[in-house]
Every structure is written in C-alpha cells, then in structure tokens.
Structure 1
Amino acid sequence: MGVELLTTTRAFRRRLDVTRPVAREDLLDCVRIAVQAPSGSNRQPWRFLIVQDPETKQRIAEYYRKAFAANLTGRAIRPDQLADLSSGRYLAEHIHQVPALVLVCSIGRLPEPAAPPRLASFYGSIYPAVWNFMLALHERGLGSCLTTAHLAYEREVAQLLGIPFDEVTQMAMVPVAALRSGSSASSRRAPAAEVTMWDRWGGA
C-alpha cells in the first residue's frame, strides 16, 4: 500500500454503486488484512458481522435514518458543512441498498462512565482494524465509509442481529459497495506544519 492509497481513501457515500454486488471472497480478503492491525495487549477483540440480507439491511437502515435525523435536530449548520451534510443525507436515504453493511464489534463492554485511558485503549484496539479494512477495500475498487449513527439504537440492532449486547460492543458500521467512476484525488487538508507543534503545546 503506497502513499496514493493512503491519501485517496476517504469516506465514500455518493459514489457507492448500489447496483453491483460485492463478492463474499473480496469482503473476507479485506477482513484478513483488517485483522493484521495492532490492538492493546494483542487482544484482537474485533469481530466483523457482514449483513447482506435485504430485509435485515432495511431494518438496520430504519434505525440509521432515525438516528441521523435526530442528530440534525436543532443543530446549527455552517455553510462549509453543507456538502458533507448532503452527502450524509444521501447515504442515509440509500443505505439499505448498499450491497454489504459491515458491523465492526469489540468483545467486551466498557463500564459507565469509563476513564479516558480505558476509552482510548478500547477504541484504539478497533479503529486501526477498521482503517485497514477500508484501505483494503479501496485497493480493490470498493468504497466505504465509517458510520456510527446506528449506535443510538445499538441495543435494538443487537437484538435484530443476535449480538449478545452485554458481552459485545458495536463500534462502527461500514457500508461497502463498488465505486462509481469519479475522482479519488487527495482531499484538501490543513498543511502538516499548521497542525504540528514541537516540544510543548503551541511550540513552533
């Protein structure tokens, strides 16, 4: 995986082609790469639940759309956020059509409230695997994005999918589809020098 892959893998929403199937073998190959990620104490707590059944995807989508709408209620939207909002709304409207919904889970649950070091370890042991998965997908011409809206209804989705809620935490959902043609140029980002400090906060 080179610099181009690292700098052109992004959250694909509108470019997801919901008309083309995604092969189970391709998904499993990408999971094989995902699980090479590091995890705290090498616990490897990840589990990948891949949903392709249309009726099940439709029911998950209903929870996703409710959570997405609730998240926007009363929220002030800046002009520079309109494009991302439109993209997110598009995904919410079409997520049930995406060929595969991949729920990335972690064995165990955090006590509430959890201390920051425990939170960092818990989430830090999963998200590198999610990123590996997304990179592997993109290398194969597949698009994805990391979503969490459905987690507002985590217990309901767990019941729907038979996930033991008290033992397993859903961490993210990754919609997967072939990519429509379009640009995958690097995104605009703040220059590294502007977001980097030396020796202390604010140090130049």
Structure 2
Amino acid sequence: MEAGSSVPVDVARQRELKWLEMFAHWDKWLSRRYQKVRGLRCRKGIPSSLRAKAWQLLSNSKELLERNPGRFEELERQPGDPKWLDVIEKDLHRQFPFHEMFAAPVQLDGEVFGALLRRAAPAAHRHLRRFRVDPVLYLTEWFMCIFARSLPWAAVLRVWDMFFCEGVKIMFRVGLVLLRRALGSPEKLRSCQGLYETLERL
C-alpha cells in the first residue's frame, strides 16, 4: 500500500501491473488510448514504485535522453557559469514575482485565474476583491513550485502526476479547488474579516 493511501494492497498491485503493461506498449497507448491514460490511470494516481518512469514517459524526457546519449552527463560535468551560479545561490524565491522574467507571465496567469474564480466561486472572488487580494499574492508560490510548498507531499505527487499528463491547466484546477476549500462557505468567509486573515487561510 502506498504511504498515505487507503488503497488496498491488491488494488495497488493491479494498478502497478496496468502501468507496467502500458510501459511495454507506450507508443500504442499514447497514440490510441491517451484518454484512458489521462482519464483513468493518471487521475487514479501513478503507483509510487513506477512514478519516476511514468513521469519520464509523460514528459517525453526519456525519448530526449535516448536521442542525445551522454548529453546530460556532458552538461552536468561542465562548470557552471559563475554569473548564474551566483544568481542561483541567492535567495531569490521571494523576489520572483517582481523579477522581470516572471512578472508578465505571473500577472497574466493571475488575470486568467481571476476570471475562472469569478465563474467557479463567485463569493470567494468577491471576498478577495473586497480585501484587494490580487491573485499574484498567492498564485506565485503555488504555480512557481507547482504546489510543492503549499500541499502535503502525497497531494503534491498526485498534482504532479496530473501536471505531467495534462499540463498547465492542472495548476489552475488545483488552485480553484484550494480556494473553494479555503473560502467556499459563508462560515469560512466570515472567519476572514481582513486581508491578513484571508492570506493566512490561503
């Protein structure tokens, strides 16, 4: 049984066998049965024992590695550019929303997310607007880390399973679910009577 899961051992083993069968005929599955891969297999969760291989196949990195033998190792052995090493070593994660490279995409994501939220959870949307909580204030960390700093690890892995399978739209879906859970009822909204309380809940 997978950690943090209530899936019985025999069911987990059946899932592993189904994934192993897919791996053996991956091209066929992708070309003819992609909806089943996405709709049934990924959404049920990729077995932990097979997740690394599944992510490689879903992201197409396995094919890239095979087409470029030794390239990864070659790049890994090269010394890093001191200019970029210095940038990486700095604690930039708090500055990303204001970094010129990320500001425009994050702002656009925020606008798209705001429009989706207005439709999916109008009360939460009104509440956030009332306290001037711009989506950039919470989306940046969610999207830049694909929820790695915001969710329990087991949930992060499931989100990443779907991210590798379906792409960026999963981040918007998960974000909407989180906001509905945080601000989706009158009681929850009443408990957030200010900017600070609202951000704490997110």
| TM-score of the aligned structures, taking structure 2 as reference length | 0.25
Larger of the two Rg values belongs to structure: 2
